[in-house]
A and B are shown apart, each in its own frame.
Chain A
């Protein structure tokens, strides 16, 4: 009886998880291909490098946004706020499940925010590290 109840629940859970896992996997694979092309010594993404990128204060970007944390807060689990006062859904995939599932949205915000914060586009390695960190949160 218990198995009968648990089994459908597990299937639903698995199906939900994979619905988000597939586009994320595709994004990471794409960044990995680019990272390898840029550096043949590339061995994989790192959540800890991603966290460092998230927390570092940069000087190359716009003074209003020296770090990711300026708008996203220091915790990926918390709701952030734009400079114009609108809430930003938490960055952690565990809190905002539809994050990192739409490649167009991911490309748009990496382009904008890397320029705002770092003053340049992010590399594929940086993007992959960042996503790996946020997906682990």
Chain B
């Protein structure tokens, strides 16, 4: 029981702080989120960003990292509710919340430049958004295979 509580708090906190050995996050379980957020890229787990980030993300889908990813209002609202309810915890600049997971401090810490360059060249990875290129079970929330 105590173990469960420890793991849980670690998974909630880990993505926004430096990861300390527990490289897994709860997977996306909602079928609508899995489908709609997983068509162009992996459906990133909501714990990777805080609620303020997801709110901003879902309000700016018309220009989603350079593409129109707009949704009908009902679908958009349902997805935002799920993302916010399962968001990561951590301190962020609420006025200007981060949108790119790859720019967060813990991500940079875990993906040191030289090593990432070497791995990207080796596996022909075009973008860091393609988690599964290196982390085979990324979809299921496991990122320990690094």
Contacts and interface: CB of A to CB of B under 8 A. Distances in A.
Contact of B40 (A63, A86, A111): A86
A85 B67 CA distance: 14
**Interface size range on A against B:** 10 to 19
A5 B63 CA distance: 55
Interface string B21-36: 0000000000000000
B13 to A, nearest CB: 27
Contacts of A85: 41, 125-127, 129-130, 133
A65 B40 contact: no
Interface in A62-107: 62-65, 82-86
A113 interface: yes
Given A83-B40, A86-B40, A115-B68, A62 B129 contact: no
A113 B64 CA distance: 12
A72 B70 CA distance: 19
Given A113-B68, A115-B68, A116-B68, A84 B41 contact: yes
B114 interface: no
Interface string B43-72: 000000000000000000011011111110
Interface of A: 62-65, 82-86, 108, 111-113, 115-116
20 contacts: A62-B66, A62-B67, A65-B66, A82-B39, A82-B40, A83-B65, A83-B67, A84-B40, A85-B41, A85-B126, A85-B130, A85-B133, A86-B130, A111-B70, A112-B67, A112-B70, A115-B62, A115-B68, A116-B66, A116-B68
